[in-house]
């Protein structure tokens, strides 16, 4: 073997060695939620929970906020690596996504309104009301009458419709809706009680990461068992 050939072989061996020792690329998960769940400074509740879960399985996990429908479509198409927080059972609609079988959050879905309205009949309480819904929030879409709904891209727009009298209620997660109200200074709006539903939320990974589904579920269980999960939730957004 001449010197040139030997140098090529050596370079190939070195490159392969570096590639083998390099950490795997981060997982990018989409989220249909901004603060307090995910923030530009990566210190939201979801950012921190998934960062710790990722550390425990040896993969960095990043979260980016996208409009709800686009977040699911991109994740299902493999543009990103999954979706960070969704209701159970979406693999039937998005067959390239695998549900991680451990609850990430319990989300209270509530109606936000300008004035008190009775909500004691659950979803049936919305009958006859003009409802602002966020496109891609599947559970809300499934439980509201399209004829009485105005679909918008973001929770901010949904609450703005209510604030301007263009809708009677907007249906959102309680924690997220309150954060939006605070940020948008919609002091006249309020969450109504009782909740329309309390839903367990799950991580979904694209099929190409199927090997990480069970380890990620186990990491979440371990975080709950050792108190890490509760400490992050109790700490709130930083």
Out of 3.30.930.10, 3.50.50.60, 2.60.40.10, 3.40.190.10, which CATH number does the structure's domain 107-198 have?
Answer: 3.40.190.10
Residues lower than pLDDT 50 in the chain: 8, 14-19, 237-238
- CA-based nearest residue to 172, from 146, 199, 207: 199
Rounded to whole angstroms, how far apart are CA atoms 26 and 164?
A: 42
Residue 78 confidence (pLDDT)? 97
Q: Is the peptide bond before 36 cis (omega within 30 degrees of 0)?
A: yes
- Model pLDDT, residue 18: 43
Q: What per-residue confidence (pLDDT) applies to 33?
A: 84
pLDDT at position 1 is 52
pLDDT of residue 75: 98
- List, by residue range, all CATH 3.40.190.10 domains of the chain: 12-105+201-235, 107-198
Q: Is 164 strand, coil or helix? A: coil
Q: For residue 207, what are the contacts with CB-CB under 8 A and spacing of at least 6?
A: 78, 96, 97, 98
pLDDT for 19 equals 44
Which pLDDT does position 226 carry in this prediction? 97
Q: Where does 12-105+201-235 sit in CATH, by number?
A: 3.40.190.10
Q: Hunting for tokens 């609850």 — which residue is that?
A: 103
135 touches 157 (CB < 8 A)? no
Q: How far is CA 78 from the centre of its chain?
A: 16
């Amino acid at each position: 073997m001449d010197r040139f050939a030997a140098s090529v072989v050596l370079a190939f061996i070195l490159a392969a060695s570096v590639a083998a020792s390099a950490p795997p690329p981060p997982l990018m998960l989409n989220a249909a939620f901004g603060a307090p769940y995910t923030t530009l400074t990566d210190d939201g509740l979801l950012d921190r929970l998934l960062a710790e879960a990722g550390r425990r399985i040896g993969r960095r996990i990043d979260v980016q906020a996208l409009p709800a429908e686009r977040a699911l479509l991109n994740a299902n198409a493999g543009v990103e690596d999954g979706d960070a927080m969704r209701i159970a059972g979406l693999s039937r609609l998005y067959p390239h996504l695998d549900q991680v079988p451990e609850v990430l959050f319990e989300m209270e879905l509530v109606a936000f309104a300008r004035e008190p309205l009775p909500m004691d009949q659950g979803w049936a309480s919305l009958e006859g009301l003009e409802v602002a819904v966020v496109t891609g929030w599947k559970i809300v879409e499934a439980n509201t009458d399209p004829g009485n709904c105005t679909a918008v891209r973001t929770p901010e727009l949904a609450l703005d419709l209510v604030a301007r009298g263009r809708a009677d209620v907007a249906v959102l997660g309680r924690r997220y809706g309150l954060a939006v109200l605070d940020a948008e200074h919609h002091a006249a709006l309020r969450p109504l009680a009782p909740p329309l539903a309390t839903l367990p939320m799950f991580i979904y990974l694209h099929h190409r990461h199927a090997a990480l589904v069970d380890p990620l579920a186990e990491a979440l269980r371990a975080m709950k068992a050792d108190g890490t999960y509760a400490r992050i939730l109790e700490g709130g957004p930083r």
